[in-house]
Amino acid sequence: MSESVQTETITKPEKNAADNTSTAKKNSILRHRKIPSADLNNMACSLSNETNENMDIGTMAQAEFQHVAAQARDLGRKMWNVCNFHNLPQWLQDNDFLHTGHRPPLNSFQACFQSIFRIHTETGNIWTHLLGCIAFFVMTLYFASRPEEELSFQDKLVFIIYFIGAITCMGFSFVFHTVHCHSETVGKFFSKLDYCGIAILIMGSFVPWLYYGFYCEPYSWILYLILIVALGMVAMVVALWDKFSDPGLRPLRAGVFTTFGLIGVIPALHYGAVEGFFSNFTLISLGWLLLMGFLYISGALLYALRVPERFFPGRCDLLFQSHQIFHVLVILAAFVHYHGITKMAEYRLSKGECEVRPAVV
């Protein structure tokens, strides 16, 4: 038995030495053997998987918590509820006569545009000018597609300029009322675009009126057009003033654009002096223009005074508030103006060539 133990004691070191020699040879072979790139990629993926599997549990828990929190925020945007005026942040407090039905801050453009299909204080403001914008866009396509034999390029152009002014005004208004609850910065930016759109509509409205009103006196209509564009640019600069959108300056905003529109009285008096104040054409064309002006001024007064919600606080939160009525009157005035300039165009085009007479400037 002692011989067996001695033999085993002797053979174990020899066996270990042999194993070490074999392992060294294998490692030498592996070092000198070129491993294919595919095998290297597999090895890298295997190491990466092992690393991911050994990721710290605390890090995984934190990532999962952030994911759940993000989902909760998204769900909150989709499931928001309207709130009272006094629960709004100060930058969203515009009309204190509207007590309920206000949107909370929605820090997502997607949520803002989805709110178009919800009932709140801005729903009427959004849809009135969205539909008006679509209507004038369709009219633009209609005029642009009419053949040259029916309507010349110049006639198309003056009408399309007016349509673009209406589309811009109502489009900016629609977008502003949709996204102004996104954030204070976004609200102020689109508020400026909204007021610039009003100035663009006023400028565009003058183009066909002056063109057909002074059809045979190009110097006069060009002079008036330059005056209107210059005043329009001034109005836009004022609209870009940061404090111009403050709720307390509502009367100033109404006054600026009403005064800009009333500048049209000057070419109207000139027009009446040239055509005759009591001629059929003057009575018809100026009659439609006066109706348009009445609608615009009425809407601006209601907007500035916040009527009727001033007399019925909390009862006009969703319908019949002053801003909605103002939007409706703007659309009506735009269509009235379209009808008026159409009548002027029909008269001028039916007269044929202009009479030779000196231009009145």
Q: Is 177 annotated as a binding residue?
A: yes
Q: How far is CA 74 from CA 69, 70, 333, 344, 352, in A?
A: 9, 6, 41, 54, 64
- Whether 219 contacts 237, CB under 8 Å: no
SS3 139: helix
Measured between alpha carbons, how far is 263 from 281 in angstroms, rounded to an integer?
21
- Residue 297 phi, psi dihedral angles, 5° rounding: -65, -40
CA nearest 282: which of 331, 220, 213? Answer: 213
What separation in angstroms does the CA of 312 have from each of 98, 235, 303, 309?
Answer: 9, 33, 15, 5
Residue whose entry in the numeric block shows the structure tokens 């095998």: 39
270 annotated ligand-binding residue: no
Find out whether 99 and 317 touch, Cβ atoms under 8 Å: yes
d(CA 138, CA 158): 16
CA distance 31 to 44: 18
Q: Is 180 annotated as a binding residue?
A: no
- The β-bridge partners of 102 are 83
Q: In angstroms, rounded to a whole number, what is the distance separating the alpha carbons of residues 48 and 279?
A: 90
Query: Strand, coil or helix: what is 83?
Result: strand
Query: Is the previous residue joined to 247 through a cis bond, with omega within 30 degrees of 0?
Result: no
> Quick one: angle between helices 218-239 and 265-275, nearest 10?
170
* Calpha distance 337→252 (Å, rounded): 25
Which residue ranges make up the annotated binding site? 177, 323, 327
Which residue ranges make up the annotated binding site for Zn(2+)? 177, 323, 327
